[in-house]
Amino acid sequence: MAASGGGNPRVVVTGLGIVSPVGTGSDQFFESVFADKRSFTSLPSWAEEFPCKVAGVVSDFKAEEWYKNKKEAKRQSRYMQMGIAASKLAVQDANLNTETVADKDKFGVLIASAIGGSEFFEEAGSKWQKHTEYDQLPSGAAWGDGTFAGRNSIYKGPLFVDGCKLTYEGFKKISPFIVPSFILNSASGVAAVELGAEGPNYCIGGYGGEAAGGALSIAQARRFLVSGEATIMAAGGSESCLTECIVAGYNKLSTLAKGCNEDQTHANNAFDKESKGFLLSEGSGVLLMEAEEHAKARGAKMYCEVAGVGMAQGVEMDEELGLGGMPSSEAIAQSINLALKDAKVEASAVDFVCAHGVGVPKFDKVEIEGIRQALGDNMSRAKISSVSSRVGNSLAAASGINAAVCARALRDGVVPGMTSLKHAVVDGVSFVTSAKEEVKNLEVALSVSVGLGGTATALVFKKL
């Protein structure tokens, strides 16, 4: 079996699966990105009074097209549907016939999600709320500005008051699919059923993975492949968090772009010191990874090698987020150093960095400082970019999409840029500011992902 440097079996990427606001399928995605397309649209009427009411919405997604049994699509949440679609797109791109996979117990699926199926949870709360009984309401109370339908009447007042209770009538309205549709492991589980995969299967998600979840899944998939526990893995992240409570929560943070509902010119601009913050997004990014020997045996095309992974934790203290903030520059540097060591690659060899670049200047500056600490003198040579400027912040899906960007760049020698970057947060960095740029002799690509709670993850990819 072919080995990578230290004797471990090499792990290769054979397929890319992407669902995003600018395109579904890797070809459509990269065509849009290289054409400098951005796609942020207005949210439904429930967001009308929110400070930020635009997001990256996947408008052309037809869930039923991705299921063997189309009825199943209606029973499942949108993050699951997108994760299944991206998994199947990766399998299609790899030209893998899942029916002919001999060792199905060595075919695994790891799809991360930070939020899960929030629409099922919120819908259940809304239905039950409409069947709430209220006892005597005190006069002169501060009712707020919400209108709620109770069992006996409609009142303008608080959702919960002393003496109210949810009724059995409301209980009967709750969908039996609520639990399997919002828990974080469902996308991995259902995708495995759809693909016939019976190997390693779980979700790295919630606060433990957040925006780094997709990268953590890819890192863990690589370990299963190196150890021989798996020969094929579909790994990445999926997110669909554009629901009322989630969007409301993010609107409470200063990091979400405000005042950009009509014009997003100054929103979501990675590494620009005048960016007003990020915009939420939905989507999915999944890699089809294989042990090199397995890929060669079936004559698969190969994008690149997944050569190294690194993870570290350390919180950059934030007045608003406290200990739940983004990782420190030291943690980011440590994750990169570990990934380079794992890949047996010198920092001077890194040619391209697909960074997180969330579009919040104070966070972007910390990320760049972490990359600088790790790359040292190579910082001025390595090309650095982020696709979040085009598609927004899709949480766990973002790091899966970033990994796909690295794989495609190593195959084609072309990297996406950031045309919206006009005022860089730091000097002395080779940011890619054209829509795309050809990079000669592109041999090593680095993906950097960060998540709330101080999670930093780095992946090193090498040209084959």
Q: Give the CATH number for residue 457.
A: 3.40.47.10
**CB-based contacts of 415: which residues, under 8 Å, 6+ apart?**
352, 354, 383, 385, 405, 409, 432, 436, 437, 439, 442
Domain count, the chain: 1
**What ranges in 209-291 are assigned the alpha helix state H?**
213-227, 244-251
Q: Which helix (H) or strand (E) is 337 found in, with range?
A: helix 329-343
Range of the domain at 233: 11-116+183-462
Phi, psi dihedrals of residue 147, rounded to the nearest 5°: -110, 125
Q: Which of 329, 324, 327 is nearest to 313 (CA)?
A: 327
Q: What is the pLDDT of residues 340-352, one digit of tens each?
A: 999 999 999 999 9
Which residue, 230, 240, 245, is CA-closest to 182? 240
Q: State the pLDDT at residue 148.
A: 42
Question: Count of CB atoms within 10 A of residue 69's CB?
Answer: 9
Beta strands in 200-327 (DSSP E): 201-202, 232-239, 283-291, 304-313
- What digits encode the pLDDT tens for the residues 3-39? 554 567 899 999 999 999 999 999 999 999 999 999 8
pLDDT digits (tens, 9 = 90+) for 342-388: 999 999 999 999 999 999 999 999 999 999 999 999 999 999 999 99
The whole-number pLDDT of residue 223 equals 97
- Is 2 among the domain residues? no
In angstroms, the Cα distances linking 453 to 34, 194, 207, 450 are 33, 33, 7, 9
pLDDT-above-90 percentage for the chain: 69
User: Three-state SS for 425?
Assistant: coil
In a domain, 153, yes or no: no
CA 439 to chain centre: 26
Tokens of 65: 């097209």
Position 177 in a domain: no
- Domain annotation covers residue 294: yes
**Using one digit for the tens of pLDDT, what is the confidence trace for 106-160?**
999 999 998 887 777 777 777 666 665 554 444 444 444 344 444 444 444 444 4
| Six-digit token string for 371 | 């990359």
What interhelical angle do 213-227 and 396-412 show, nearest 10? 60
Residue 9 phi, psi (nearest 5): -60, 140
* Least confident piece of the model among 61-70, 122-131, 227-236: 122-131
Identify whether the C-beta of residue 301 lies closer than 8 Å to the C-beta of residue 407. no
Please report the pLDDT score of residue 137 as a whole number: 47
Q: Is residue 458 part of a domain?
A: yes
Nearest residue to 389 (alpha-carbon basis) of 398, 397, 381, 380:
398
Residue 161 has pLDDT above 60, yes or no: no
Q: pTM (2 decimals)?
A: 0.89
Sign of the alpha-carbon dihedral angle for 141, 144, 145, 151: negative
Q: Do the beta carbons of residue 447 and residue 357 sit within 8 Å?
A: no
125 located within any domain: no
> What pLDDT does 52 receive?
95
Within a domain: 202: yes
Distance CA 197, CA 445 (A): 29
